[in-house]
Amino acid sequence: MDGKLRADEVAVTKSILKSTFDMWMDLIDVDVVIVGAGPSGLTAAKYLAQNGVKTVVLERHLSFGGGTWGGGMGFPNIVVEKPADEILREAGIKLDEVIGEPELFTADSVEVPAKLGVAAIDAGAKILTGIVVEDLILKEDKVSGVVIQSYSIEKAGLHVDPITISAKYVIDSTGHDSSVIHTLARKNKDLGIEVPGEKSMWADKGENSLTRNTREVFPGLYVCGMAANAYHAGYRMGAIFGGMYLSGKKCAELILEKLENK
């Protein structure tokens, strides 16, 4: 070691191309594709991956965390209620008690997605950012994977054919957009799928319906997080997030059960 930094252009470019190619070759066929790296998707990824399930999370933006970063109206805190606090504690996230509200905690809206993302990655999930899921693979009336495009190509409006990732199960955790189940409904009218969208705010009802609404809605396709409430016309809940984490965990448990019984 002479202390000199080595930065050869050819070596840098070769390193990027080789590692990217190897990564993609490994990811074209997985157990579970999770669409959307918000709180519910990241939680599902953590629990699936830590149980040995080959899991890839696809996120349109370059950052993961979805709607968490901005807290409530840009105030950098979110609220989490029991028993979902355990999921955050497991990821090493600090929670502050709310005086006079023994069931509620606040958490830093930057710390939460950062540590939850790390927990999912450490568990073995792969998070790919800048990738949009624009369609599904639909074979013999079962969702068997996703059709993906680079977000920059989509945003530029270029006509470029996509590529695919095959999967045993796909999770729609795209939040308020519920864009995966919407795409399935829009492109396959013969299936008669309707997505009513979420209702206005009623925090208690919205939170309590989330885990109930988390389920397989079409063979091979699960909904979790806000997408589950959008699919079932559930209420919105604002900056309280416990239901999102519990929904992600439940979705992982449902898929683990399916994989075990195969």
Question: Strand, helix or coil at 4?
Answer: coil
Residues 168-197 that bind ligand 48F (CB under 6 A): 173-177, 179
Query: According to the binding rule CB under 6 A, does residue 154 interact with ligand 48F?
Result: no
Considering only 30, 32, 41, 234, the residue that binds ligand 48F (CB under 6 A) is: 41
Q: Which two tokens stand for residue 179?
A: 């864009």
- Helix pair angle (242-260, 203-213), 10° resolution: 10
Give the Cα separation of 255 and 105 in Å (integer): 29
How many angstroms separate the CA atoms of 111 and 114, rounded? 5
Q: Least separation, in Å, of the C-beta of 108 and ligand 48F?
A: 15
Residue 23, annotated as binding a ligand = no
**Given the complex with ligand 48F, which of 14 and 82 has the nearer CB atom?**
82
**Residue 40 within binding range of ligand 48F, rule CB under 6 A:** yes
* Contacts of range 93-97, beta carbons closer than 8 Å, 24 or more positions apart: none
Nearer to ligand 48F, 1 or 68 (CB): 68
Angle CA 41–125–260, to nearest 5: 85
The reply to whether 179 sits in an annotated binding site is yes
User: Where in 232-261 is the site for ligand 48F (CB under 6 A)?
Assistant: 236-238, 241, 244
DSSP 8-state class, residue 96: E
Out of 54, 56, 59, 252, the only residue in the binding site for ligand 48F (CB under 6 A) is 59
Q: Which stretch binds ligand 48F (CB under 6 A): 47-55, 85-93, 152-160, 220-228?
A: 220-228
Which amino acid is present at 239? A
> Of residues 71, 220, 225, 234, which one binds ligand 48F by CB under 6 A?
225
Q: Identify the CA nearest to 184 among candidates 37, 35, 56.
A: 35
Beta carbon of residue 68, minimum distance to ligand 48F (angstroms, whole number): 6
Of 68-127, binders to ligand 48F (CB under 6 A) are: 68
**Helix residue spans in the chain (DSSP H):** 9-27, 39-49, 85-90, 111-123, 151-156, 179-187, 203-213, 226-231, 242-260
Please give the annotated binding residues, written as ranges: 40, 59-60, 67, 133, 159-161, 176, 179, 226, 236
User: Which chain residues interact with ligand 48F by CB under 6 A?
Assistant: 35-41, 58-61, 66-68, 132-133, 173-177, 179, 225-227, 236-238, 241, 244
